[in-house]
Chain A
Amino acid sequence: MLTLSILIPLLASLGLFFWSDVTKEKARLVALGASTLSLLCLVVVWLRFETGPEAPAFQSVSEVSWIDALGVAWRVGVDGMSLAVSLMSGLLFLCAIAWPAETKGRARQYYGWFLFLQGVSLGLFLTLDLLVFYVFFDLTLVGMYFLIGRWGHDNAEYAALKFFVYTLAGSLAILLAILGLVLANGTLTFDMRELIAAQPLGGTDLRSSLILLGFLVGFAIKTPLVPFHTWLPLAHVEAPGPASAVLAGVLLKMGTYGMVRIPFQMMRETFAAYTFPLAIVALVAILWGALVALGQTNLKRRIAYTSVNHMGYTVLGIAAAGAMIGSESVRTLALSGAVTEMVAHGLITGALFLIAGGFQARTGTYDLARYGGLARVTPFLMVTYFLAAFASFGLPGLAGFVAEFQVFAGTFGVYPVLAAIGLLGLVVTAALFLMMGQQIFFGETKPEIAMVRDLKHAEIWPLAVLLAFVVLIGFLPGWLLDMIQTGSAFASFHPSVGQ
């Protein structure tokens, strides 16, 4: 079932690639159908998913051999974390594909690449093989490179190149670290389950530290954390709206997901030794992202920097959870917050970037100074914007709050000072979203944008679906938290067992 949810979009993408005389509408229908089927497969897995402390570490597992000599195989399976993140990804992809996009006369290729990206992204979250994980990690780069390069705005070529080179550097660092980790294990296998059980490396000797550093740098580039974030604003500004939504909503999660799945779970002791510096870096990302976002005059750039800020919360949560100080319940809370933040940020920022794409399609610009007084002209757009913005800075009753509350509550139990400073980030993001909303929607209506249309039906329902989940998670977080806290990532760990 999991394999199907990866294969359906990939096969459909291949089909679109060869179906040369397909019309735009048909291409879109094929893409929507494949994306929906893939999501349905995940929903089936979700319905069968057992929650609670007795549930197995990974569920819906299946395995097909690939390169036996290296211990590499096609292995898929989910725990609560990966199920939650992949469900979010499937949903976001469906909404991004449904969003009416400017395909520049190449609809077939546009939808083909989107489906490709959906397949490989789900593959990354669902696989249980380190090498296959890496394979998908790299393939997402290829997919995104073409999406940004071919359907982006003016400076797209440069942005796509920078994105590819930066993140390839990160992924190669990860590859070396993966090989180091696998070789440290006695038997040659890339099976995540075995590596988690074996904990091949421990302590803070040079080798373990370097391997950990490789993972953290690689994932920090993807996440991105300051100072490795400079590719992100550029890529976002140049990418088309739906691609931005997927980039922020799904691809950034690969960094934090990988951070939890690999260094956090497979080398706990080494990870624990370095959580404090990691938390500090996360804190810098939180504050830097918020402050720089405040200074931006470009709509998309501003949202892009808030992503740096939000992913900072996630990493802060992961760092707090990995530290072996404080009580276990506090650390569980922090990790649960981090994973919830991944889901929430995906939904919220996905919606925000779709909205930003909507602005661009209407006015041709992201420059905030050109906007003003849209409240009367586009009430729907205003409602969705403010709902997403409130959720983003963590208004209670919305998904962002559930995530950020847990992250900070958990971090207070481990690093109280850092958590207190980090709260400043929340204040700044609240200010910047409100100011941006004021700028766009209130005041005098600028004459050159007075004629823009409000949201079309095809734009309303993707946003409505995303925001409905934001509200649902905000009011009833229980089902999501139960799911997230089930399985491998949340299994309790006792240092003596690993030795």
Chain B
Amino acid sequence: MMPLGDILPEIAVLLTAVIIVLLASFLPRHLQWTNAPVALIGLAIAALLLFSQANGEGRATFSGTYALDMASIEGRLLILFATAVTVLLSPRWFESDARHGEYYAMLLFSTLGAMVLAGALDLLLVLIGVLLSSATGYVLAAYHRDWALSVEAGMKYFLVGALANTALALGATLMIGLLGGPGFGEMAAALQAGEASPLLLVGLGLVTVGMAYKLGAVPAHAWLPDVAEGAPAPSAAFLTVVPKIGAAIALARLVSLFPETDFAIRALVAALAVITMTLGNLAALWQEDMRRMLGWSSVSQAGYLLMAVTVTSLTDHAIPALVTFLFGYATANLTAFAAITHLRGRTDRSDYAGLLKTAPLSAIAIIVAFLSLVGIPPLGGFVGKLELFLATIDGGYVWLAIAALVNTVVSLAYYLRFVTPMVLRAPSESVLQLGSWSCVATTIALISVAAVGIFAQFLIGMIGVSAFLPT
């Protein structure tokens, strides 16, 4: 008998997606928006089911292939929340699209992929999660079929993705072959006994490349700025946040399998972290396009995330840091993209002049989101970065913390480059806004940025005492 009860949240999401596919094919055009509330209800049910799983313990289910620890539960809750915000952003944005009901189904399938990644304790399951999340992601990025930029974003996402997913599959094959099985538990046992072989390292490197693609980290980051700029704004909000959550947790689980010595995996991840954050920051410095800048900033944030992955199982703070940082990053990035969607996708820096006067809610949301991304207390990003620095120093990677610190100072410059005209310049024109759906989404996201900071105790307290599977 399969313990189906353990994956009820996933089943809820899946069923909702199926219902939406059916509804979308029969509903008339002017009622396509009703799929949004359906999606929200499905997400809410999934979240409630997840809450019932959260008891502070960690256990594996389905013969040890799926984790129900706090990292997985909090990660999946965050994925559901991010999806819900994206759903709220969509009805008005896609209003002119005749068949946009299917968009919600695509979102939910992609959500499912990310959820699987957050819980996977098996390399094959990781592969399935990545593929599900990617295949749907291409569609989400290119959803404006008639708009060149959107198609280009989807194309770029697809090309980089095809390469990275191939690398992942190849690497997984090598690792499974050399370690005797796909389960993380058996891999860890084999790794404790065996020594590093060149082929195993190649496999591991390829898997890391595959995960870097989902994270938006070097060397597979090239799609992120294009997707942020060209994809429909709700898709951009979704794709810069949700896949990262699943991938970060999956990669952390993978790294935790390796003993502290003999394997160069942590040094590799640390190097990727520094390169990613530095590259993302330097590229963001001179952007004149808000969404492209956010894309590069999202690359640099992936670099910070990798810091927590680096010190996984070297310190007790690593997993709390990873999850808290994910919460801080996700809420802030969602807020920024929600505000941009609310402003009908306005993206040129000069168009933001005087926005604090003409569109106060959006302007405040963007400013608060940026301050949180920099790590200004008491916002969510601050607690995330604090935990991150604490974990990195405690794990013995002080140089990594210093590199992140220098990068944080640099990042302030480009965020402020966009804040300054909003606050200080005179408004140029009247501002068109998208209506109440995106207004609600922006407000919710904005509140969540502050809430993550102020109620961080709930996040950290639960996860601090829970085991991180499979160790």
Q: Is the CB of B377 within 8 A of A135?
A: yes
B residues less than 8 Å from A141 (CB atoms): 376
Q: Is the CB of B424 within 8 A of A149?
A: yes
Given the interface pairs A168-B409, A176-B402, the reply to whether A69 lies near B464 with Cβ below 8 Å is yes
A residues less than 8 Å from B420 (CB atoms): 149, 157, 161
Q: With contacts A164-B416, A168-B412 known, what are 10 further pairs, Cβ within 8 A?
A: A67-B383, A67-B456, A68-B461, A69-B464, A139-B376, A141-B376, A157-B420, A161-B416, A161-B420, A183-B390
The chain A residue sitting closest to B457, CB to CB, is: A67
Q: Whole-angstrom distance from the CB of A176 to the nearest CB of chain B? A: 6
How many chain B residues have a CB neighbour from A under 8 Å? 31
B residues less than 8 Å from A169 (CB atoms): 409
Q: Whole-angstrom distance from the CB of A396 to the nearest CB of chain B? A: 44
Per-residue interface assignment for chain B, residues 397 to 423, with 1 indicating a CB less than 8 Å from any chain A CB and 0 otherwise? 010011001001100110010001001
Given the interface pairs A146-B423, A157-B424, the reply to whether A175 lies near B386 with Cβ below 8 Å is yes
A residues less than 8 Å from B377 (CB atoms): 134-135, 138-139
Is A14 an interface residue when CB atoms closer than 8 A count as contact?
no
Q: Is the CB of A138 within 8 A of B424?
A: no
Is A131 an interface residue when CB atoms closer than 8 A count as contact?
yes
B residues less than 8 Å from A66 (CB atoms): 457
A residues less than 8 Å from B401 (CB atoms): 176, 179
Is A1 an interface residue when CB atoms closer than 8 A count as contact?
no
Q: Is the CB of A172 within 8 A of B461?
A: no
A residues less than 8 Å from B382 (CB atoms): 135, 138
Q: Which residues of B contact A (CB under 8 A)?
A: 320, 371, 374, 376-378, 382-383, 386-387, 389-390, 393-394, 398, 401-402, 405, 408-409, 412-413, 416, 420, 423-424, 456-457, 460-461, 464
Give Cα A164 to B408, complex, Å. 12
What are some 9 contacts across the A-B interface (CB < 8 A)? Answer: A67-B460, A70-B390, A138-B376, A138-B382, A142-B376, A157-B424, A168-B408, A175-B386, A180-B393
Give Cα A164 to B413, complex, Å. 9
Q: Is the CB of A183 within 8 A of B405?
A: no
Given the interface pairs A67-B456, A161-B420, A179-B389, the reply to whether A173 lies near B405 with Cβ below 8 Å is yes
Partner of B412, one of A70, A139, A150, A165: A165
Give Cα A150 to B354, complex, Å. 12
Q: Whole-angstrom distance from the CB of B415 to the nearest CB of chain A? A: 10
Q: Is the CB of B389 within 8 A of A175?
A: yes
Q: Is the CB of B394 within 8 A of A183?
A: yes
B residues less than 8 Å from A157 (CB atoms): 420, 424
Give Cα A54 to B468, complex, Å. 50
Q: Is the CB of B412 within 8 A of A69?
A: no
B residues less than 8 Å from A139 (CB atoms): 376-377
A residues less than 8 Å from B423 (CB atoms): 146, 149-150
Give Cα A169 to B404, complex, Å. 12
Give Cα A238 to B371, complex, Å. 23
A residues less than 8 Å from B393 (CB atoms): 176, 179-180, 183
Q: Is the CB of B413 within 8 A of A165?
A: yes
Give Cα A161 to B414, complex, Å. 11
Q: Is the CB of B389 within 8 A of A176?
A: yes
B residues less than 8 Å from A173 (CB atoms): 405
Q: Whole-angstrom distance from the CB of B177 to the nearest CB of chain A? A: 41
B residues less than 8 Å from A182 (CB atoms): 390
The chain A residue sitting closest to B320, CB to CB, is: A69
Partner of A142, one of B371, B383, B389, B408: B371
The chain B residue sitting closest to A17, CB to CB, is: B364
Q: Is the CB of A70 within 8 A of B460?
A: yes
The chain B residue sitting closest to A142, CB to CB, is: B376
Q: Whole-angstrom distance from the CB of B254 to the nearest CB of chain A? A: 26
Give Cα A350 to B304, complex, Å. 41
The chain A residue sitting closest to B357, CB to CB, is: A106
Give Cα A175 to B390, complex, Å. 10
Q: Is the CB of B409 within 8 A of A172?
A: yes
The chain B residue sitting closest to A139, CB to CB, is: B377
Q: Is the CB of B424 within 8 A of A161?
A: no
B residues less than 8 Å from A135 (CB atoms): 377-378, 382
Give Cα A176 to B406, complex, Å. 11
Q: Is the CB of B405 within 8 A of A69?
A: no
B residues less than 8 Å from A161 (CB atoms): 413, 416, 420
Q: Whole-angstrom distance from the CB of A138 to the nearest CB of chain B? A: 5
The chain A residue sitting closest to B383, CB to CB, is: A67
Given the interface pairs A68-B457, A139-B377, the reply to whether A172 lies near B424 with Cβ below 8 Å is no
Q: Whole-angstrom distance from the CB of B379 to the nearest CB of chain A? A: 10
Q: Whole-angstrom distance from the CB of A304 to the nearest CB of chain B? A: 23
Q: Is the CB of B386 within 8 A of A131?
A: yes
B residues less than 8 Å from A150 (CB atoms): 423-424
Q: Whole-angstrom distance from the CB of B108 to the nearest CB of chain A? A: 33
